[in-house]
Structure 1
């Protein structure tokens, strides 16, 4: 019965865009595919920072007009593997493409599992769509850094500013702002050129993201002969957290509220290797400035999205275009002794995800079920009425679009921690209630009950009463990774007491 309803709704939607029964390619709905880099759940419609209002009026108005997935998660807490996974449809834990960075060009094609897969934009191009891209969709860097782009040029009819340099020049804040002599610059994380923050004394029009939005807005003003797949990627709030002064003025430093934080949070967890970064932040009294800068960068990116939404709503395409807005991963702002992403916790994996389908999504609705960004490829193929490729690891969200309460399966995020002397891989499973984490090389498990522990402070993986829950989540991992295994030996360097409480031997909090 459900299948009949799904087919009926798809047909009804497609018939609004095409008058003939043949459903020619030019009659298919357009796709507007918007990516916002490093945007976490602090956006207004998710309210991930309960102690402070982050101003995102444009994202909030989009959310109010569409379907919001409140429990959406990235396949990886880093830009490059996430974007390659979303756009190829192959989870990077299965393809082996778990590294953070692979250099210039479509290097992800060098992984055996990705050599011949049809990417998302490639699929729609083969179906007669005009493929248009701008900004950061695949992983890229913009000048003044080494200009790199992992875009595959032949898949796009046009890419702005170029498939070879996929983002415009980024203006930086003055050197005296981002490298003040009041901090230990010699030992600061990020080295020269990255991981900085501060106000830029320019107008929005000088910013790279403004130019990306300008170009995408112009495309929406044109008449297109074929349906289009238009992908636009906004770089901010990715670091450097440097945006025009007016956005900093919205968040006075004396009004900044720090995120909820537990000093000994990592005592019962596996060390992600980034605590030294937060230690530098604390020692140099930069925490409030970083929160201020990230909030300012979020509001700047919201303004850029708002400009594109304005252009879209004034265009001829508003009633026959599927709109998807997503972020590639979340962001820590001190939680779990971490600044930035690169962990397997909620703050790294949870992302904003909004889908708007004319005549199908109901304004202001929410789906609280766990979903993955891996689901975007099959969802868009379903919504446009094509047959899905066989290689896709995600699941179509069409059932949730029709009924936001429809139950989903748990979702998986994975990551290769490359900076330790011996790199290691970790996987996390997010179900409706729990987060399970497993590091195979070190045989360490974590389990957090979001119903009772939304901040993921108490690792309950080694409590006897939770072993059935652990096994259920192990089984989810094994479905995707049949070769994964577990041992009964306790993890080295930790002590487990009779109640199943685990603690790291010799743990030292950052406050000490």
Structure 2
């Protein structure tokens, strides 16, 4: 028979075990998820000393900066669909900007969560969204030129959605906003792809979004329960518009041009992009680029200046939100994640846009700061993907990871930035598929009048993907082709 003292000790150990395994809601980390449209790794913390991005650079210094983060699809809606579900695309519909509408918005509620945000909601988090987290500019389903609907793009994910469209009336008009309440829609696309105006930060919609996020952080703190707040910023998506003070941070004539302005040598034309988003959406552009037809150096500098100013504008807005997080003493128990939904060519490979399978299209910004993570002020060199965010946030929050995900937990890299958790990243577009390892990128394009076309780049010697070496390296093509993910063109 056990002694009373031993029995009491046993009960005490059991009680301590239950306490440690049952984490109170208030101890779960909050999550501040910031998405930025078209944000390639164009920050000072990525080694670009001419960039003025102090707030994001400080965040990178406090957390982990991922140098080789790749999105799955080089377009907004499809990239976000893959990221939110933690799944690779498997069919053409997954490559559309309407992927979320077609696969989630109009679907019946199923047993599985529709997104990782929904999964967090099901696990005790209060969920608030501001701006563009899914594809829609404000979270509702309607066309660029239509009135706002009451149908949510993610019907099960949000507890509440906020957005301030200001003088622009709708989310989509705000997305394509010019100063004084004008938009690409109101001007029938007869606009330039950039603008600088003598306005305050709230003179463009992203300033209103930052202000709203600052206000709602106090509200979320008062709820005294773990929260997930998604904040989606529009810039530096076209048009490259920002208050003039951010343009004044740069001397245009000193800004570098793209290191490779011509289409890659030897590469099939199927890989190239005619900058249709730029050319068809901004009819008053002074020059119109095309494949193998770069714009002038002077115009390239003007456009790059505009993009850099838009990045600095967003850096300032994110800084406002991060400063408020600290003022409220929420930063110590909040995961902060900044994610760019894909990259963007700023004249690279003669492209002004993103719809291609190059590094410039698929590589984007990723910064994660997590409470308790050991790897501070570190740059992670390993390959990571957007599908990895779902399992990573679950692991960091102590929430079960669904077993059907394609992503990999990145938590080990947050504690030791030198670790590598995967060997390759996968990309998909309508004209082909690609795989990226640390050493190579292989592109494969569908069969057209014979055999499939390939593009192969050796990143050990050609980091800007200037020369296709596929024809002279058939064995390497064959080796990497075995890594490509299955995809149905039907």
| TM-score range relative to shorter protein | 0.7 to 0.9
Q: Residues 194 and 415 of structure 1: is their aligned pair in 2 closer, same or farther, counting only changes over 3 Å?
A: farther
8 Å Cα contact 1:322-1:357 kept in structure 2: yes
Return closer, same or farther for 1:133/1:123 CA change in 2, 3 Å cut-off.
same
Aligned counterparts of 1:115 and 1:444: Cα–Cα separation in 2: 40
| In 2: Cα distance, 1:128 partner to 1:233 partner | 22
Would you say 1:232 and 2:231 are equivalent positions? yes
In the alignment, is the contact (CA less than 8 A) between 2:91 and 2:487 conserved in 1?
A: no
Which position in structure 1 is the counterpart of 2:31? 31
Match of 2:478 in 1: 471
Provide the alpha-carbon RMSD of the alignment.
Answer: 3.3
Can you give the 5+ residue segments of structure 1 that lack an aligned partner in the other structure?
1-17, 179-189, 417-424, 485-512
1:99 to 91, 95, 100: 95
1:447 counterpart = 2:456: yes
Aligned partners of 1:26 and 1:128 also within 8 Å: no
CA contact (8 A) 2:73 2:342 kept: yes
Residue in 1 that maps onto 2:331: 318
Could you say if the C-alpha distance between residues 203 and 78 of structure 1 is closer, same or farther in structure 2, counting changes exceeding 3 Å?
Answer: same
The TM-score, its normalising length taken from structure 1, stands at 0.78
Aligned to 2:258, the other structure's residue is in SS state coil
Which residue number in structure 2 is paired with residue 57 of structure 1?
Answer: 54
Residue 409 of structure 1 corresponds to: 423
Counterpart position of 1:83: 80
- The answer to whether the 8 A contact 2:131-2:137 is kept is no
Q: Structure 2, unaligned stretches of length 5 or more?
A: 1-17, 277-287
Deviation of the 1:117 alpha carbon: 4.6
Matches of 2:309 and 2:145, distance apart in 1? 22
**Equivalents in 2 of 1:248, 1:351: separation in Å?**
22
Q: Residues 176 and 406 from structure 1, CA distance in 2 versus in 1: closer, same or farther, beyond 3 angstroms?
A: closer
SS of 2:93's equivalent in the other structure is coil
Q: 1:253, CA displacement in angstroms?
A: 3.3
1:134-181 deviation per Cα after TM superposition (whole angstroms, max 9, x unaligned): 011011247985467863143211111289966783541489999xxx
Q: Which of the numbers 307, 311, 315 marks the counterpart of 1:294?
A: 307
Instruction: Give CA deviations for 1:40-70 in whole Å, capped at 9, x if unaligned.
Output: 12211113xx5x7121111111111111111
Following superposition, the deviation at residue 21 of structure 1 comes to 3.6
After TM superposition, give the deviation of residue 269 of structure 1 in Å: 3.6
Give a deviation string over 1:459-492, Cα, whole Å, max 9, x none. 111224x51x323322221xx31779xxxxxxxx
Structure 2 counterpart of 1:438, from 444, 463, 477 = 444
Q: 1:241-279, CA deviations, whole angstroms, 9 ceiling, x for partnerless residues?
A: 111111122223333332212435354243424168424
Alignment of 1:95-494 (within 5 A): 96-102=92-98, 106-109=101-104, 117-118=112-113, 119-141=115-137, 146=146, 151-161=153-163, 169=174, 171-173=177-179, 192=189, 196-221=193-218, 222-263=221-262, 265=264, 267-271=266-270, 272-274=272-274, 277-279=288-290, 282=295, 286-407=299-420, 408-416=422-430, 425-442=431-448, 443-464=452-473, 467=475, 469-477=476-484, 480-481=485-486
Summarize the Cα distance change of 1:393–1:289 in structure 2 as closer, same or farther, 3 Å threshold: same
**Contact persistence 1:168–1:211 (CA under 8 A):** no
Distance 2:344 2:487 in 1: 30
Q: Quick check: 1:96–1:111 contact (8 Å CA) kept in 2? A: no
Q: Is the 8 A contact 1:426 1:438 kept in 2?
A: yes
Q: For 2:92 and 2:152, locate their aligned partners in 1 and report how far apart those are by CA, in whole Å.
A: 17
Q: Distance in 1 between matches of 2:487 and 2:311?
A: 39
